[in-house]
Chain A
Amino acid sequence: MLAARQTGFGAVIGSNRTRPQRFSNRRITEKPSMTKTVARVSARQRPADRIFSGTTMGAGILILVALAAVAIFLVAESLPAFLANPKELKGSPSSFWEYVGPLVFGTIWAAALALAMAMPVAIGIALFISHYAPRRIAQVLGYIIDLLAAVPSVVFGLWGIGVLAPFIRPFYDGLVQNFGWFPLFTGPVSGTGKTILTVAIVLAVMILPIITAVSREVFLQTPRLHEEAALALGATRWEMIQIAVLPFGRPGVISAAMLGLGRALGETMVVAMVLSPAVVYSFVLTGSANPLTIAGNIALNFPEASGVAVNALIATGLILFVITLVINSVARYVINRRKAFSGAN
């Protein structure tokens, strides 16, 4: 039975008794005395079959090799940076970690801000598409949100610097004037609007589609009977969502958030184009000295870098790779435990 299950429906072919049994490696466990029970017979393997399945498996293994190669080559090229004299790095820090520290801080701070803004909106859109919009237009609405994901990041960067930053600058003036006592809005205000909050807003728009797509999938998987039971007990639609949909979807939404976080952490062009950077640890949202992110730092400095500076940039890329790998792995693990869905398509 095991063999039959392994080869799927091909098992039927193998039971053709008129065919000469030429292949010694056929997995035949059928005994002459048991001719009535046709079981435990595997399909005849032709050479072409083996070549084809071997090729497909090779392609699968190649993907694993590629991922391993990413890690290996990044480590190999970043070793010189760890071993080099840190004084040779940009800004002559006392150690490599002093160089990376503000970048890691900026990466996580910008991504966290983006996530905090994107999450409520994304959950709202996902609920709107899955439970509020009329069935007929729900799919169209999904396409429209997916269009946001299709816009190239460099165009978002251009939009952020050309439209959003000038548009939002007056609001920053107001925030700093009225809420300057609040640590996040400590003055002086940025004169250009190129702050980490502007970057985070653009990042939030960019990660909306992935969070929405995954959350929508989970919400749609809520057992229909749970929803109907809640409605039958007289719950309003919101109460039904509170009782049936949200508890069911919570793990999925959490991993959707982590996927979005992964995207935000690695987003490059928006940061490189919009942010006015500095080497600081600063939580201030509206100032002109903002912590740069790892990805933004690489894009800004790589074209002109040479020597050990290149290795240092690759080393920061390795750190980014490890951070996103861990976050994505955890998110995927949580999603895969539930059902088969992914935000890749």
Chain B
Amino acid sequence: MTTATTPREAIGTSHTLTTGHLPRWSPFVLLGLSWLVFIGVFLLTAASSKSEFNLVGALFLGTVFFDIVIFVVSYLVEGVRQAKNRLVTSLVSTAFIIALLPLISLVYTVTLKGADRALDLSFFTNSMRNVTGAGGGALHAIIGTLEITAMATVISVPVGLLAAIYLVEYGRGALARSITFFVDVMTGIPSIVAGLFAFAMFALLFSDPGIRFGFGGSIALSVLMIPVVVRSSEEMLKLVPNELREASYALGVPKWLTIVKIVIPTSIAGITTGITLAIARVIGETAPLLLIAGFTASVNYDLFSERMMSLPVFVYTQYAYPGTDAQAYLDRAWAGALVLIAIVMVLNLVARLIAKIFSPKLGR
């Protein structure tokens, strides 16, 4: 017995690097334990008061409890400096988890409440014309969203891309600096101000104080989209190695042809990614379309006359102006939200895939 323990003790005392340290696995085990404790407590209270079990709350309080436990344990074993370090580490991780909770809750709720109508084909084949109760669909809104966003893209991409080319390839001096600055400032324009601008402009131009039409929505979205396109394209154009440009110039290729044939094809994957993300950003804009495109219950294919529904505005109006059968309207709102989120997520995914698959392989 004694002969067996002496060498082990000798090893323990001679290991000065690991003495007074918590083992590597201790934070994870403690986190798991505190989660289990709070899930248990919540289950018990839920069972005793017959209320619904709240997993999000249990995980949140469990994480906070873990922050306190790890500080105390580490303070006792490792001293105050390590304890502070561990406290901050766990707090920082907690911050990340806190940010995830709304995202998880949102996606979960929207899927749960929206799936019913969004999986129903009639949601995509019917408009809201003459619908006052259940039934109906978002066909008119989807058509409107596609047309308005497509038009906004057609306006924004040439302007944004050309401006980015100017900034990277030509722009020097005060003009380029002011464009860069104001593009950055423009990214912060509230979307509702963009809508008001489009309204104010067309109301003055056509002297119609109650003007509503889809193209105005496209203009409003362009104001929001152009700065995003400029910024992302600019970043991508800057990544093109100068050696490629120099090689082209050395062969006697003019500058504009170098840009069109060398610089843009090299960065096209990144530019497409940026444009896709920009589309994803504006396709969910509600406020400007509410103001200038208005809302309607019927399908309207014409961007240049009459009100035009869009998917975000559809969600808002279904929620804000429910008819006699409020639940049907609410269901449609959630279904619209689910379709909207699905579109945005797919666009984001496509953007990342484009960036990953088509980006040029620089020999590094």
Contacts and interface: CB of A to CB of B under 8 A. Distances in A.
Contact of B85 (A56, A239, A331): A239
B286 A153 contact: yes
A343 interface: yes
A306 B232 contact: no
A222 B223 CA distance: 34
Contacts of A120: 95
A159 B105 contact: yes
B256 A125 contact: no
A87 B313 CA distance: 32
Given A121-B95, A144-B103, A269-B286, A155 B315 contact: yes
B235 A345 contact: yes
Nearest to B84: A238
A314 B231 CA distance: 29
Given A132-B92, A162-B113, A259 B249 contact: no
A151 B176 CA distance: 33
Interface string A138-166: 00010111111111111111110111000
The residue in A8, A77, A152, A306 that gathers the most chain B C-beta atoms within 10 A of its C-beta is A152
Contacts of A9: 242, 245-246, 249
A253 interface: no
Contacts of B106: 151, 155-156, 159, 163
Contact of A298 (B94, B100, B196, B316): B196
Contacts of A262: 188, 190
Interface in B286-327: 286-287, 290-291, 294-295, 312-313, 315-316, 319-320
Interface in B224-273: 226-228, 230-232, 235, 242, 245-246, 249-250, 252, 254-257, 259-260
A128 B93 contact: yes
Nearest to B280: A150
B184 A336 contact: yes
Contacts, number: 320
A59 B194 CA distance: 19
Contacts of B283: 152
A32 interface: no
A339 to B, nearest CB: 13
B255 A266 contact: no
B255 A10 contact: yes
Interface of A: 6, 8-10, 12-13, 16, 43-44, 46, 48-49, 51-53, 55-64, 66-67, 69-70, 73-74, 76-77, 120-125, 127-129, 132, 141, 143-159, 161-163, 205, 208, 212, 236-239, 241, 259, 262-263, 265-269, 272-273, 295, 298-299, 302-303, 306-307, 310, 313-314, 317, 320-321, 324-325, 327-329, 331-333, 335-336, 342-345
Q: Top 4 closest A-B pairs, CB basis?
A: A266-B190, A152-B284, A124-B95, A59-B162
17 contacts: A63-B186, A63-B227, A67-B185, A69-B201, A70-B197, A124-B92, A147-B345, A149-B281, A150-B281, A152-B340, A155-B340, A159-B102, A266-B188, A268-B191, A302-B290, A314-B199, A345-B228
